[in-house]
């Protein structure tokens, strides 16, 4: 907990960049991803220095999250990119391993891809990940190499997945939007294909990651008009050390049009391992007066921080925060 506020990290990745998991051109894409981390890093907020050729160990992940940071619970998210990595950048089995190691503090987010596994194969794997490994959400990456992609509103390819999610009692499905890793086409990472699916599946919530960067205005517009579209601030806090003004403008716009109730905290560990540093940044963040004056962006109040840090995503996941804290620490020490 940070200063009496519950911290629920929506997205950490147990990556596997070991040589045996690297697929065609995967070494280049892994270096691209690491380079992205390096560009958005400095001495205090470094990129992971043992990212390439290794996998994140359960022991190190647990230490970073639960010993060195004030994260209360976290969701380990599968990255089902099966082209560049044979079993995906962050394989489901590694996310499940973290959940097995910290069953009270880690939730498992599964992941499948209908192009690599086939629609029926993906549906079967969703069922397996939910029933055998306790998946409570699913993550999707739609854009691959050589213009291979699928759309969220595709009734043949995608809707069977959303129907399966509903059947499994899943409350939210999540999407990597924007932020290309390699030679994906940008239009395949655009967030507007969420709109019709969000209308057709009102019982599901669709989460856009990274504010869809660079499609930030579009992501915010889609979320502002559809109550079951939420925004994950993953890879948002990570730009703050390098581009603080830009980060504040992005948050200000999201707060103004979407409001504070549908934004969720995500550290994007372990591309950047200083999880506690990012928690401190957000806990101490204020909207500068000139952005309030010139752009009309609202103040980042304690209430806003409390919601974003964890209470919003706990609500979506149906987690009783008080009970969760008591089960971890024996007491609920939150303060208003």
Partner 1 sequence: MAANADLQQRVDAAIDENIARFLDSHGGAVASAAVTPDGDVTLRFDGACRACPAVAVTFFSKVAPIVRAVPGVRSVHAPNVNVSEAAANRILALAAPPRRPQER
Residue 22 DSSP class? B
To the nearest whole angstrom, how small is the minimum distance from the Cβ of residue 255 to partner 1? 5
Q: Which is nearer to partner 1, 275 or 287 (CB)?
A: 287
46 binds partner 1, rule: CB under 8 A: no
245 binds partner 1, rule: CB under 8 A: no
Query: Contacting partner 1 (CB under 8 A), which of 221, 283, 302, 328?
Result: 221
**Rounded Cα–Cα distance for residues 13 and 89 (Å):** 9
Query: Contacting partner 1 (CB under 8 A), which of 83, 114, 178, 260?
Result: 260
Query: Contacting partner 1 (CB under 8 A), which of 287, 308, 314, 316?
Result: 287
Give yes or no for a contact between 118 and 132, defined as CB atoms under 8 angstroms apart.
no
3-state secondary structure 134-163: CCCEEEECCECHHHCECCCCCCCCCHHHHH
Residues 6+ positions from 131 with CB-CB distance below 8 Å: none
296 binds partner 1, rule: CB under 8 A: yes
Question: Given strand 106-111, what is the order of strands in its sheet?
Answer: 8-12, 73-77, 106-111, 137-140, 172-175, 205-209, 229-232, 263-264
To the nearest whole angstrom, how small is the minimum distance from the Cβ of residue 18 to partner 1? 45
Q: How many CB atoms lie within 10 A of CB 221?
A: 17
Q: Which is nearer to partner 1, 257 or 329 (CB)?
A: 257
Query: Contacting partner 1 (CB under 8 A), which of 245, 257, 286, 323?
Result: 257
The DSSP bridge pattern shows strands 229-232 and 73-77 to be unpaired
Query: Contacting partner 1 (CB under 8 A), which of 163, 261, 303, 333?
Result: 261
To the nearest whole angstrom, how small is the minimum distance from the Cβ of residue 265 to partner 1? 18
Q: Which is nearer to partner 1, 11 or 287 (CB)?
A: 287
**Rounded Cα–Cα distance for residues 297 and 316 (Å):** 25
329 binds partner 1, rule: CB under 8 A: no
């Amino acid at each position: 907990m940070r200063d009496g506020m519950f911290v629920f990290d929506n997205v950490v990745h147990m990556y596997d960049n070991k040589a045996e998991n690297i697929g065609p051109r995967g070494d280049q894409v892994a270096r691209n991803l690491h380079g992205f981390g390096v560009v958005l890093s400095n001495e205090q907020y470094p990129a992971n220095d043992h990212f390439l050729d290794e996998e994140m160990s359960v022991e190190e992940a647990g230490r970073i999250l639960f010993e060195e940071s004030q994260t209360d619970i976290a969701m380990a998210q599968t990255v089902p990119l099966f082209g560049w990595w044979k079993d995906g950048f962050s394989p489901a089995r590694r996310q499940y391993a973290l959940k097995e190691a910290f069953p009270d503090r880690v939730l498992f987010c599964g992941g499948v891809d209908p192009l690599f596994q086939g629609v029926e194969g993906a549906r079967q794997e969703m069922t397996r990940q939910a029933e055998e490994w306790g998946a409570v959400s699913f993550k999707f990456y739609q854009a691959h190499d050589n213009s291979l992609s699928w759309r969220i509103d595709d009734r043949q390819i995608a809707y069977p997945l959303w129907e399966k999610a509903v059947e499994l009692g899943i409350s939210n499905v999540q999407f990597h939007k924007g932020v290309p890793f390699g030679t994906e086409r940008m239009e395949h990472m655009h967030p507007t294909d969420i709109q019709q699916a969000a209308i057709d599946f009102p019982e599901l919530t669709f989460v856009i990651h990274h504010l869809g960067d660079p499609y930030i205005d579009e992501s915010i517009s889609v979320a502002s008009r559809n109550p079951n579209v939420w925004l994950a601030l993953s890879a948002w806090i990570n730009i703050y050390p390098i581009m603080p003004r830009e980060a504040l403008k992005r948050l200000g716009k999201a707060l103004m049009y979407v409001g504070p109730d549908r934004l969720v905290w995500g550290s994007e560990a372990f591309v950047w391992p200083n999880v506690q540093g990012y928690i401190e940044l957000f806990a101490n963040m204020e909207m500068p007066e000139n952005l309030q004056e010139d752009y009309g962006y609202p103040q980042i109040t304690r209430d806003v921080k409390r919601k974003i840090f964890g209470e919003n995503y706990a609500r979506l996941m149906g987690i009783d925060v008080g009970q969760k804290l008591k089960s971890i620490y024996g007491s609920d020490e939150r303060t208003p």
